[in-house]
Structure 1
Amino acid sequence: MASASAPPPSTAVEDYLKAVFALETRLEGAVPTTALAGRLGITPGSVSAMLRRLADLGLLEHEPYRGVVLTEQGRKVALRTVRNHRLLELFLVEVLEVPWDRVHDEAERLEHAVSDDLVERISAKLGHPEFDPHGDPIPDRQLEIAERSTRSLEDLEVGDEAPFVRVSDTDPAMLRYLAERGIVPGVHLTLVDRQPFGGPLTVRLGETEHALGPELAAAMRVAA
């Protein structure tokens, strides 16, 4: 996190560091420029220029031929932004009753403007939650984050039952599809059928069966 004498990070800086953090978690190591460009939807050349700036600020380190990693300072900035985002999502869902497929974009806008004091008040109002509406872990006040072990729904064998714990929040249509069927984090799913050649999976929730396409199944995580 920026020191008391330094200006707060800009929106662009926070967005970059948050994206690096997300990719570091997924890739379990250095983040290539091309992967970061793809996530942010901009050209690799633009990304490279920004990464040099972030390295000069002491927020990133370059690993030759591999990519970039967050420094301790960069990780704190990223986790603060992640904490803001996920607490805002949960507040919008639980207090303002905004559908879970709409809160991601709202939180993207608000996460850069909300003060630390207001974030702590939101956290206290919600009972200092550990997870956001999509099952993503929320960093605590000390910016520590506890990632739980999960596996893809696709990894289940027919007949397996597992709690659904997490799903990507970036595709509103996907989230609406799940919500309309009551498939939200916390429910238990049983895999009852798997079609060959990349076909859909069929899961049972209670007494009802639902077909889930491969793209959707890949975005869903169940307890390991």
Structure 2
Amino acid sequence: MRREDYVSAIYRFIEAGLEARLSDIARELGVTPPTAAKTLSRLEDEGYVVKRGATYLLTRKGLEVALRVIRNHRVIEKFLVEVLGVDVGEVHELAHRLEHVDEFAELLDKHLAKPDRCPHGNPIPDRGVETRATPLSFVREGDYIVERICELGKALEYARRWRLDVGDRVRVVAVTEHALQLQLGSRVVTVPLDVARLIFVRRCGADVHAS
């Protein structure tokens, strides 16, 4: 597992408004907590991350690496979907295998005329895109448009399983203490709150440029 994978994972947790804790980082990367702890300790010694209590944060050095890899990843995703027609549900893992080649990502970026968002609606770094959409976990019953799906494993898996894409219109039909009932077309599915907080929406009729 590369250092880039760890700093990118921490970036994604922070971007989603979550704390990057050891157990969560390990789960996201598919490694054991002891393995993650050893690597994170090395990255801390090398100046890429700092630990504050139980939470890992990126240093300036770590953030520079994370932004580069995240930018590559999201540009490659955009190319795979828009040019090659790869299914959105499959594109994350494919892009992960290619994201470490900067020259390749730069060529694709130029070909795409420097897009500002990936197929999941997440902003490509350094493009000046603001993200003001609301987490699904915060909304009430009503109709919404999916604006962004965080690139964390459980959110992407949920979106893949239920064929939930950016731009889809969904209806929140019920809200409970631990989950939402969401109508997707003719289906009604249950979305746990820990997943709902990783899916960002805007109310139907709201200004799309405010997301």
Q: Per the shorter chain, which TM-score range?
A: 0.7 to 0.9
The answer as to 2:45 corresponding to 1:60 is no
The answer as to 2:15 corresponding to 1:36 is no
The answer as to 2:135 corresponding to 1:152 is yes
The answer as to 2:208 corresponding to 1:222 is no
Alpha-carbon distance between aligned partners in 2 of 1:68 and 1:154, rounded to the nearest angstrom = 24
Secondary structure of the structure 1 residue equivalent to 2:35: helix
- One-letter identity of the residue aligned with 2:96: E
Alpha-carbon distance between aligned partners in 1 of 2:9 and 2:39, rounded to the nearest angstrom = 13
The answer as to 2:144 corresponding to 1:162 is yes
Q: How many residues align?
A: 198
Partner of 2:83: 95
Alpha-carbon distance between aligned partners in 2 of 1:21 and 1:214, rounded to the nearest angstrom = 24
The alignment's C-alpha RMSD in Å is: 2.8
The equivalent position to 2:16 in structure 1, one of 5, 8, 26, is 26
Does the Cα contact within 8 Å between 1:202 and 1:209 map onto a contact in 2? no
Does the Cα contact within 8 Å between 2:178 and 2:192 map onto a contact in 1? no
- 1:76-111 CA distance string (max 9 Å, x none): 101111111111111000100111111111111111
Does the Cα contact within 8 Å between 1:87 and 1:132 map onto a contact in 2? yes
Alpha-carbon distance between aligned partners in 2 of 1:215 and 1:157, rounded to the nearest angstrom = 15
Alpha-carbon distance between aligned partners in 2 of 1:210 and 1:73, rounded to the nearest angstrom = 46
- One-letter identity of the residue aligned with 1:213: T
- 1:2-42 CA distance string (max 9 Å, x none): xxxxxxxxx6110011111112233455x332232222232
Secondary structure of the structure 2 residue equivalent to 1:136: coil
Alpha-carbon distance between aligned partners in 2 of 1:221 and 1:103, rounded to the nearest angstrom = 19
Structure 1 stretches of 4+ moved >3 Å = 26-29, 144-147, 168-174, 187-191, 195-200
Alpha-carbon distance between aligned partners in 2 of 1:92 and 1:135, rounded to the nearest angstrom = 15
The alignment-based identity, stated in percent, is 30
Q: TM-score, normalised by structure 2?
A: 0.79
Alpha-carbon distance between aligned partners in 1 of 2:82 and 2:176, rounded to the nearest angstrom = 39
Please show how residues 120-159 of structure 1 align to structure 2 within 5 Å: 120-140=106-126, 146-158=129-141
Partner of 2:205: none
- One-letter identity of the residue aligned with 2:136: L
The equivalent position to 2:37 in structure 1, one of 23, 26, 48, is 48
The answer as to 2:201 corresponding to 1:201 is no
1:71, distance to aligned residue in structure 2 (A): 0.8
Does the Cα contact within 8 Å between 1:101 and 1:173 map onto a contact in 2? no
Q: TM-score, normalised by structure 1?
A: 0.74
